[in-house]
Each structure stands twice: as structure tokens, then as C-alpha cells.
């Protein structure tokens, strides 16, 4: 088996059947399997999965964990490369898998991540996030580089592949609440392995979070940073200058696209996001994922 595609599912909704159809239409120069790990779907996702030759694993909802469940998928996999794609992503075309695996063009490449592009239904601040952080040009990320594109936000298991042997060796850290992709990427880089960002392997992926959902998500991401995720090398310069650069670029994006009517909402959107991140990282508040996990007490204070 050349590749194993692992999808974690819980109530994948209307997009999930389309995702499976697109995966099984891939023009791939090799063999691949699809592993679906479902953690309690009640919306027809299981029936959608059974219409295809997937390897289906069902786990209780309480057992789901971003790292631990992905590790389970890796242990089940038979492919030389393990590909993760989320249930709400959709490859742009039938060459997505081939382009992702083609990124392993050197023995030092441990991880290949693809581009994420926002859906048309995304709000302007959400669209800007993806346009800003997921460029059109290929990037090689190596430890010791002088700079890192926009703090390597593009490193994400929404759309990523790993060498199976290295993934089984390093494994995702199950002591963190989320951002397992950033944490393992930091360890790979620390061990002189490299990561490729391949924009040609693109998927549609975006969210329309409410402000509360946005705040809660960034509380969890802040806690993940507190637990070591922020070891991933970032862009040169301080956080204040990075934030100012982002906000300035967002303003220009809104102006260039005649979307300045969205500026008040965009300001609130960014304030909510960074407030959640700061409060979570400071340990002042916990998000829903953190509250549902039995975290090691010493690592959360």
C-alpha cells in the first residue's frame, strides 16, 4: 500500500459524502486505502462511509482526542505515507493526493502540507485569514531558517501527509488539547527533518464561526501554546509587529475588494480571537476542548 488516507468523523454533514466521492476519484499513481474513524455520528455519516470500500472504525465519543485518535489511525494504516484530511475539507481536483505525495522528493522531508482555500460562503475576515497564511508558492521549512512565513500557520492536519515510519516513531502528543500538527512539526524540525508546503495540493476549507465559537476555539489554542505548541519556529520580529502587519494587510484586503463595510466586524473578530488566545495561554480561562479533557494537572498551570 502506497498511501493511507485517515479521516476523523463525527456528524460530517452534507460535505462528507462529497469528500469521499472526491477521494475515490483521485488519479493516483499507486494504491491507497481510506480509514474512517467515527466517534458517534448520528447524521448519516456512517451510511455514507459504508457506500465506499473504507476501513471503518467506530469509537465512543468520549474516547475522541485530536492526537490520540490520529495516532490510532496511524497504527491502523498500511501505507508508506499517511494522509490526514478533515471531514469538512474538499480537494479541489482529482490530482490532490498525487501532488501531496510528490512533495516527498527528498529523504529529509517528513511532512507535506497542502494549501487551504476558503469556501465562497466564508466571511471576509475568514477568507482573508486563508489568503494571508496559505500562499500560492511552495515553501520548504527547515530548522534554523532565518525566517518562517507567517509563523508557519499553514502547517495543519486539515490537509497533510507524513512518512508512516517517522509518524509512528514521533507520534502526536496526547497531552495537548489541540494543534497536534504544530507540536509534532516542532519536534520534526528540531531533529533536522524538513516540512514542505505544497500549494498545488489544495483543498477547500473554512469556517463561519460565531464570535463565541471563535473565542472558545482560541481559548483552546492558547492553552495548546501554553503546553508547548509555540515551540514551532515563527516569523522574525515581535508579536506586536506581527499583529500590526496582519491587521494592516487585512485592511488593505477589505479596501481592495470594496469590503470596508466589514471593517467594524473584522476589528471585533480579531479582538475576540486574540483575547481568547491570550486568556488561554495565560491559563486564565479554558475552552470547551480543554474542559472535556483529563489533562495532566502540572501541565495546565
- Which residues, other chains included, contact 270 with Cβ-Cβ below 8 Å and sequence gap of 6+? 125, 246, 247, 250
Query: Which pLDDT value is given to residue 298?
Result: 36
Instruction: Kindly report, residue by residue over 240-299, the tens digit of the pLDDT.
Output: 777 888 999 999 999 999 999 999 999 999 999 999 999 988 888 887 877 766 544 334
pTM: 0.91
Helix, coil or strand: residue 219:
helix
Least Cα distance to 1 among 103, 92, 101 occurs for 101
Query: Which pLDDT value is given to residue 234?
Result: 77
Query: Which pLDDT value is given to residue 175?
Result: 85
- Which residues, other chains included, contact 192 with Cβ-Cβ below 8 Å and sequence gap of 6+? 108, 143
Distance CA 295, CA 290 (A): 8
Task: Show the domains of the chain with their CATH numbers.
Answer: 3-204 (3.90.550.10), 211-299 (no CATH)
Helix, coil or strand: residue 91:
strand
Least Cα distance to 301 among 282, 273, 275 occurs for 282
Own/partner contacts of 246-253, CB < 8 Å, gap of 24 or more, are 246/132, 246/270, 249/128, 249/132, 250/125, 250/128, 250/132, 253/124, 253/128, 253/131, 253/132
Helix, coil or strand: residue 274:
helix
- Which residues, other chains included, contact 50 with Cβ-Cβ below 8 Å and sequence gap of 6+? 56
Least Cα distance to 18 among 204, 277, 255 occurs for 204
Distance CA 112, CA 204 (A): 17
- Which residues, other chains included, contact 125 with Cβ-Cβ below 8 Å and sequence gap of 6+? 250, 262, 265, 266, 269, 270
Helix (H) or strand (E) holding 114: strand 109-117
Backbone angles phi, psi at 200, to 5 degrees: -70, -20
- Which residues, other chains included, contact 57 with Cβ-Cβ below 8 Å and sequence gap of 6+? 35, 36, 37, 38, 72, 76
Helix, coil or strand: residue 1:
coil
pLDDT (tens, 9 = 90+) of the chain, 301 residues, equals 899 999 999 999 999 999 999 999 999 999 999 999 999 999 999 999 999 999 999 999 999 999 999 999 999 999 999 999 999 999 999 999 999 999 999 999 999 999 999 999 999 999 999 999 999 999 999 988 878 888 899 999 999 999 999 999 999 998 888 889 999 999 999 999 999 999 999 999 999 899 999 999 999 888 888 777 777 777 776 677 778 889 999 999 999 999 999 999 999 999 999 999 999 888 888 878 777 665 443 343 3
Amino acid at each position: 500500500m502506497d498511501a493511507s488516507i485517515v479521516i476523523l468523523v463525527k456528524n460530517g454533514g452534507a460535505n462528507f459524502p462529497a469528500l469521499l466521492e472526491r477521494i475515490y476519484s483521485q488519479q493516483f499513481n499507486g494504491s491507497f486505502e481510506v480509514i474512517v474513524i467515527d466517534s458517534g455520528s448520528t447524521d448519516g455519516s456512517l451510511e455514507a462511509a459504508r457506500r465506499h470500500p473504507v476501513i471503518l472504525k467506530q469509537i465512543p465519543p468520549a474516547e475522541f482526542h485530536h492526537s490520540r485518535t490520529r495516532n490510532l489511525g496511524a497504527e491502523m494504516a498500511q501505507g508508506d505515507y499517511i494522509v490526514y484530511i478533515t471531514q469538512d475539507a474538499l480537494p479541489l481536483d482529482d490530482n490532490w493526493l498525487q501532488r501531496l505525495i510528490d512533495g516527498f522528493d527528498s529523504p529529509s522531508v517528513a511532512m507535506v502540507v497542502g494549501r487551504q482555500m476558503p469556501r465562497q460562503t466564508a466571511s471576509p475576515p475568514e477568507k482573508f485569514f486563508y489568503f494571508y497564511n496559505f500562499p500560492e508558492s511552495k515553501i520548504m521549512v527547515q530548522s534554523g531558517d532565518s525566517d518562517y512565513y507567517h509563523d508557519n500557520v499553514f502547517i495543519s492536519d486539515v490537509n497533510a501527509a507524513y512518512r508512516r515510519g517517522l509518524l509512528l516513531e514521533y507520534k502526536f502528543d496526547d497531552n495537548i488539547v489541540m494543534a497536534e500538527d504544530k507540536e509534532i512539526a516542532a519536534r520534526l524540525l528540531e531533529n533536522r527533518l524538513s516540512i514542505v508546503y505544497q500549494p498545488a495540493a489544495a483543498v477547500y476549507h473554512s469556517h463561519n464561526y460565531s464570535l463565541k465559537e471563535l473565542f472558545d476555539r482560541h481559548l483552546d489554542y492558547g492553552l495548546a501554546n501554553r503546553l508547548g505548541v509555540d515551540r514551532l519556529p515563527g516569523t522574525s520580529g515581535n508579536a506586536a509587529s506581527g499583529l500590526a502587519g496582519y491587521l494592516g494587510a487585512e485592511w488593505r484586503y477589505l479596501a481592495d475588494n470594496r469590503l470596508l463595510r466589514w471593517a467594524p466586524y473584522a476589528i471585533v473578530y480579531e479582538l475576540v480571537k486574540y483575547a481568547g488566545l491570550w486568556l488561554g495561554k495565560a491559563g486564565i480561562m479554558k475552552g470547551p476542548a480543554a474542559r472535556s479533557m483529563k489533562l495532566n494537572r502540572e501541565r495546565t498551570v
